[in-house]
Amino acid sequence: MSGKPTVGEYMTRDVETVSPDDTVRAVSERMVESDGHNGFPVTQGRRVEGFVSAGDLLLADDDAPVFTVMSTDLIVAHPDMKVTDAARVILRSGIQRLPVVDDADNLVGIISNTDVVRSQIERATPSKVGKLMRTLEQIHGVSLTEERREVRLTDLTPTQARVYADELEGRQYELERGLAEPLVVIDNGGTLHLADGHHRVMAAHESGIETMDAYVIVPNTPVDLGMAKTAEKEGLHDITDIEIVDYARHPLVETTKRLQ
């Protein structure tokens, strides 16, 4: 992705909306039944008329139409707006979701604070990939290509023997909210070596997830990878060989104890 990311690249296009004539009770029930929604754009056709939040509904009469309690002082974003600018609006306004409208004021999506965070994470990973590719080129003198793929976790050969239980909780939180970075994998002659993302993989495995998004580096010819030797030495053949270590054995805890 070149240049600064735009709202159109990261917004959710399938937006749940409500009608101005829906009752407070109906919208409240939808909010309770939805997956984490605390507000909806209020639309007439495709045009945004307002926004209704959980706070707007709290003290309202159950049978009142939504247009009587919705906010009409709207802050919206445009698909061409930079994500960083949308982030500033979200931060300063305290609004968690911005409706996204086109030049005709038609609703085309919605961008949330989660989408903003995801945009920054996804731009951080390519720098890791670029650094690893340069290192491999210098060490092995090969040309490399980079691909974006969904990889099966059972096809991965780990290069790290253990992960820490406390960190898995954080990675599971990220996975549930779509904030997990893509993995970094080296496809070395058909063997998929996991270069970055062991905690993410194990969190996904424990959650029953079978595939993950990955940046895959492909050498034009197979190379003698140091990480492959590490995997062989540690007896690592697939992700089930990775040991989950209790927090008390984390090196940071041991270091802290020594300092004390």
- Helix or strand or coil: residue 224? coil
- d(C-alpha 70, C-alpha 68), whole Å: 6
Q: Is residue 112 part of a domain?
A: yes
pLDDT-based confidence at residue 8 (cuts at 50, 70, 90): very high
72 pLDDT above the threshold of 60 = yes
**197 lies in the same domain as 230:** yes
Query: What confidence score (pLDDT) does residue 249 get?
Result: 52
Number of domains in the chain: 2
**132 lies in the same domain as 211:** yes
From the list 199, 145, 135, 194, the residue with the least C-alpha distance to 167 is 199
- d(C-alpha 69, C-alpha 52), whole Å: 7
Residue 243 or 257, more confident: 243
Domain boundary among 59, 94, 119: 119
Question: What residue spans of 83-112 are helical by DSSP H?
Answer: 83-93
Question: What residue spans of 177-217 are helical by DSSP H?
Answer: 198-206
Q: Are 78 and 7 in contact (CB under 8 A)?
A: yes
> For 213-252, how does the pLDDT look when each residue is reduced to its tens digit (9 = 90+)?
999 999 999 999 999 998 999 999 999 999 998 755 555 5
Domain residue limits at 236: 124-245
> For 191-223, how does the pLDDT look when each residue is reduced to its tens digit (9 = 90+)?
999 999 999 999 999 999 999 999 999 999 999
Structure tokens that stand for 145 in this block: 């290509």
Q: Are 40 and 27 in contact (CB under 8 A)?
A: yes
Q: Is residue 173 part of a domain?
A: yes
**69 lies in the same domain as 51:** yes
